[in-house]
Amino acid sequence: MKTQDFIALEEQYGAHNYHPLDVVIERAEGVWVYDVEGNRYLDCLSSYSAVNQGHVHPRILQAMLEQAKKVTLTSRAFRNDQLPLFYKELSEFSGYEMSIPMNSGAEAVETAIKLARKWAYRVKGVPRYQAEIITVSGNFHGRTTTIISFSTEPLYKEDFGPFTPGFVTVPYGDADALERAITPNTAAVSVEPIQGEAGVVMPPAGYLKRVSEICKRYNVLFIADEIQTGLCRTGKRFAFQHEDVRPDMVVIGKALSGGFYPVSAVLADRPIMGLFQPGEHGSTFGGNPLAAAIGRAALAVLRDEKLDERSAELGAYFLEQLQEIPSRHIKEVRGKGLFIGVELKPEAGGARRFCVELQKRGILAKETHEHVIRLAPPLVIDKETIDWALPRIREVLQMN
């Protein structure tokens, strides 16, 4: 079967909830993916930062295969010998005392919301069911009915109401607006340190620091959604470390499995995470031994290959080189580590056509919203490969 045959099947039998580039991938290794026609591409999306460790990392693959032969699912009705080690290693990696494992990112966000609400009622003393959570414009936290309730993107929510109450939205990057929105019933503030899906949108310097101070002053929990920015993507283990803050809860997912399997988690210290009692929350697959073994290997790769430092160094180089490209289409090139957005001017005709041209030259990137090309290759990329990509990106950005 050829590319067009696969596309035809997918269009006929699958829901049309995505608009993918017309490339049908059949295998991948490291930073490279290969399509069914035998073409090779540099992956500059990294499955939305789920494959920070590179595609099919041998060490994670090995851990997965070994565990798959032993036991894959016990349910949490029984204990397994992988989860305790995953907990411990996650705490050592993150500096948080405890965690709760889930599967998808959205599930972990839902978990953080539940925990913040319980904290508000049991610890802060908010009257029952009056808790409010402050969110910011342009947020992306997932696709569940509760999470889309506080999305500001019409495409994500229109036709999908009624919505879950209890959320307030303020402009991203505006700490004063956030402070004004706080009431005695505010349980938590939830932000992405850098907004990935909004188009690699970076808040003004000092924003996270102020959010953290405001949260402390008003006894409000600071939740950082690091599902995309965390696990070394921005040049540190967590993006909040760029401003030297420590959120009360951190949500991670994506690269927590290196792309092998859905693994997510919420991190917090004991006074918060300890609030969950048996039966109050759970997941059939969350914390299963296969997921835990994969998560352990994925963390070990991030740590042992120092992918935070690698992202910082190579990201700085890539960003600087991109910023030097003369192009009448570019409005701004921004980013941290290997998490880079090239924002095009509105008159450039949208980022999609540039991504199609990149594909023809062997680079896979995805337009993010209308006007941003996100460049976020696996963190195992090397300088030679960036130097291979740069002239191709330059050529595309300089087309008419």
Please identify which of the residues 43, 225, 248, 308 carries the catalytic annotation. Answer: 225
Does position 374 interact with ligand PLP (CB under 6 A)? The reply is: no
Among 28, 106, 208, 348, binds ligand PLP (CB under 6 A): 106
Please confirm, yes or no, whether 366 is among the known catalytic residues. Answer: no
- Residues 63 and 261: their CA atoms lie apart, in Å, by 12
Please identify which of the residues 118, 254, 336, 366 carries the catalytic annotation. Answer: 254
Collapsing DSSP to helix, strand or coil, 154 comes out as helix
The β-bridge partners of 188 are: 133, 221
Stretch that binds ligand PLP, among 121-129, 222-230, 273-281, 289-297 (CB under 6 A): 222-230
Please confirm, yes or no, whether 176 is among the known catalytic residues. Answer: no
- Residues 44 and 358: their CA atoms lie apart, in Å, by 10
Smallest gap, in angstroms, from Cβ of residue 390 to ligand PLP?
26
Question: What beta strand segments (E) does the chain contain?
Answer: 25-29, 32-35, 40-43, 98-102, 132-136, 167-170, 186-191, 221-225, 249-252, 264-268, 330-336, 339-344, 363-364, 366-368, 372-375
Does position 141 interact with ligand PLP (CB under 6 A)? The reply is: yes
CB closest to ligand PLP, residue no: 105
Q: In this structure, what are the phi and psi dihedrals at residue 191, rounded to the nearest 5 degrees?
A: -140, 155
Collapsing DSSP to helix, strand or coil, 335 comes out as strand
Report the residue number, 265 or 364, with the smaller CB distance to ligand PLP: 265
Burial class (CB in 10 A: 0-12, 13-18, 19+), 280: exposed
Report the residue number, 104 or 212, with the smaller CB distance to ligand PLP: 104
Contact 50, 59 (CB under 8 A): no
Stretch that binds ligand PLP, among 20-28, 191-199, 309-317, 362-370 (CB under 6 A): 191-199
- Residues 289 and 357: their CA atoms lie apart, in Å, by 42
Among 110, 132, 192, 308, binds ligand PLP (CB under 6 A): 192
# chain residues binding ligand PLP, by CB under 6 A:
15
- Residues 397 and 353: their CA atoms lie apart, in Å, by 10
- Residues 229 and 197: their CA atoms lie apart, in Å, by 11
Please confirm, yes or no, whether 254 is among the known catalytic residues. Answer: yes
Smallest gap, in angstroms, from Cβ of residue 141 to ligand PLP?
5
Stretch that binds ligand PLP, among 111-119, 135-143, 173-181, 206-214 (CB under 6 A): 135-143
Contact 353, 399 (CB under 8 A): no
Smallest gap, in angstroms, from Cβ of residue 124 to ligand PLP?
25
Question: What beta strand segments (E) does 148-205 contain?
Answer: 167-170, 186-191
Among 54, 101, 105, 289, binds ligand PLP (CB under 6 A): 105
Does position 225 interact with ligand PLP (CB under 6 A)? The reply is: yes
Stretch that binds ligand PLP, among 39-47, 138-146, 283-291, 343-351 (CB under 6 A): 138-146
Angle 334-337-343 from CA coordinates, rounded to 5°: 20
Does position 336 interact with ligand PLP (CB under 6 A)? The reply is: no
Smallest gap, in angstroms, from Cβ of residue 289 to ligand PLP?
20
Alpha helices (runs of H) in 14-152, residue ranges in sequence order: 46-49, 58-70, 83-94, 105-119, 145-149
- Residues in 278-317 that interact with ligand PLP by CB under 6 A: none
Please identify which of the residues 93, 140, 238, 354 carries the catalytic annotation. Answer: 140
Catalytic residue positions? 140, 225, 254
The footprint of ligand PLP (CB under 6 A) covers: 48, 104-106, 109, 140-142, 192, 196-197, 225, 227-228, 253
